[in-house]
Each structure stands twice: as C-alpha cells, then as structure tokens.
Amino acid sequence: MGSLPHVIEDFMGVLQVLSDGTVLRSKTINFNIPIINDDSVLFKDILFDKTYNLHLRIYKPTSPPSSRKLPIIFFFHGGGFCLGSRAWPNCHNCCLRLASGLNAVVFSPDYRLAPEHRLPAAIDDAETALKWVQTQALLSEDESEGDAWVNARGVDFDQVFVLGDSSGGNIAHHLAVRLGAESTGIRPVRVRGYILMAPFFGGVVRTKSEEGPSEALLNLEILDRFWRLSMPVGETRDHPLANPFGELSPRLEEIRLDPVFVIVGGAELLKDRAKDYAERLREMGKKIDYLEFEGREHGFFTDDPYSQIANQTLHHIKTFILANST
C-alpha cells in the first residue's frame, strides 16, 4: 500500500508541493505590511488575458500635469516565478510610489506562476500584457473605444519603460531580447528602456555572492527551490531562461537591445550575477547602466518604497528615464 501524499517543497506554508504533485497555495497570508493609502494615485484592475484569467492593475496620478502626456511604466513583480501578485501589499505600495514619484501611468500585470505553470509561461504572459497595451493604443486612435484610463490623450505610448524586480527583472531581460531594439513588433507602443532590479539569474557554477553569507530573508536553498519549481522539467540552471550566458542561450552580441539599467544591493546573493550581466553587456557595446547600493539586501526598494534608500533609487530611475526619452 502506497504512502499518503506528503510535503516535499514548502515556502513557509504560502506554497506547498506534495509528493503526488499536488500544489497547495494559501489564501490567507499574513503579510504584516500596511497598505499605504496614497490619495495622489488612483488605481483599478482590468482583465488583459481571458484565456488564463490574468489581470493587471493600472495606477495613475490623481492630478497629472496638463502640459504633457504621461509615460508608461510596466512593473513585473518578483517571487522566484513561484510567488507574488499585483495585489500583494509590497507590490501595491511599490507601484503607488512609482506612479507618484515618476509621474507616470504604471501597469502591474499578474503572470502564471510555477510550478503549475513552468517557464516560459511567465515571460509569455508578460509579452501578452504589452500586446494588450498595444491593442489599447490602436483602439485609442478612435476616442470612443478602448479603456478610458489608457487613452492616447493622456498617456504616451511612445515612452514605455519596463521595470522588473527579481524574477520580474529576469522577465524584463527576456522581453528586451524578444522585442529587440525599438520594439517594432508592438507599434505604436515603443519601449525605451529596461530597468532590472536584482534580476533573478542562475547558473550551475556558483558565484561568490551566492555562496554566502545568506540574507535575512533569502538563502541559497530558497533560490535553488525557486529554480527547481520554475524551470522546465529536467533542465538545469544553465538553461537560457535562467542563465543569459548559458551554452544554449541567445548570442547577445548579435541582438540589438534598448538601454538597460541594472540595480542591485551590495549584500545580495544575486549581486555577482547582476554585476557580471552588466559588465558583459557593456563589453558587447550595449548601452547599460549599473548601480550597486552597498550593504543592501534583496528587496530594499520594493519592500519599503518610501525609505530614504528607495528615494535615492527612484531618483536614479527617473534620471535613466529622462536620459532615454525623446
């Protein structure tokens, strides 16, 4: 007689995988993160993918300037491709801060999560979200159609920036590669740059920062678990979806990319991979900026977007956006 199903993977009870393949997700999570009710920003949810029932949250300043259209910021949340949602308080607060601090319209899409939906599902969904905005841009040419919040009179579809945190940073990289320079496949939407915050990259050979010391809320065991559950079955961390420089990864030297900005904390396990990514792209002649905050651990911006260090980060993001806007 076989044994009863038992837990083989556990993310603090939020996500559990049983020995028979069953995936359990908690519907009652105690975040202990207060939601910041910022009256300077309005937000609403909208369905962007009927096939997978995926929603995105749109944020816009309550009193935008009348002299110009607002740029668009796409924000892809982190969570190792296994956790997270547009509705989680840390993601929500971060997007409120981005909308108010950058005076922009922010789109925060959900994407399918692993292990129920392994990669490249999350990247495919991110591309679908961008194409949804492309549809809105085309519809808004007729002012009677499309979503009223996403209208060419108020937003600038020619000034789009993609920002990803952790696994969201990995998504941002893959979007940059898929769309290529000038993002011609989604016109009239035009991505001007990509901002990767501590991008979640991997590899079979460990880096020095991965080997330790562990962070307060992140360690190598957790990183490995994320990869085990999110990668296509049987693949290693050198798969192109994890390692931008793996043996089978696209030759980035041959791909034209829009500007990239990499931001990472100096005490992050992911620091060495982020730094190596930026250095290699620079050697290839890509337009790339790199910023490292000494002593900071993973999530220093997204977990407290109103802190002093978050304000500094926002300043650098704003500078990057201004430098790469027409």
Give yes or no: 247 in active site.
Answer: no
Identified catalytic residue from 77, 174, 239, 298: 298
Identified catalytic residue from 127, 210, 268, 297: 268
> CB of 69 within 8 A of CB of 105?
no
Give yes or no: 167 in active site.
Answer: no
* d(C-alpha 131, C-alpha 17), whole Å: 33
The one-character DSSP state at 237 is T
Q: What angle do CA 242, 243, 246 make, to 5 degrees?
A: 135
Ramachandran area for residue 176 (φ above 0: left; ψ -120 to 50: alpha; else beta): alpha
What residues form DSSP beta bridges with 9? Answer: 17
End-to-end alpha carbon distance in the chain: 68
* d(C-alpha 237, C-alpha 94), whole Å: 29
3-class DSSP assignment, residue 56 = strand
* d(C-alpha 201, C-alpha 240), whole Å: 10
Length of the chain: 326
What residues form DSSP beta bridges with 107? Answer: 58, 74
* d(C-alpha 235, C-alpha 237), whole Å: 7
Q: What is the separation of C-alpha 216 from the centre of its chain, rounded to a whole number of angstroms?
A: 22
Give yes or no: 166 in active site.
Answer: yes
Where b means 16+ CB within 10 Å and e means fewer, 182-220 reads ebeebeebbbbbbbbbbbbbbbeeebebbeeeebeebee
What residues form DSSP beta bridges with 83? Answer: none
Cis peptide leading into residue 188 (ω within 30°): yes
Identified catalytic residue from 140, 166, 167, 209: 166
Residues carrying an active site annotation: 166, 268, 298
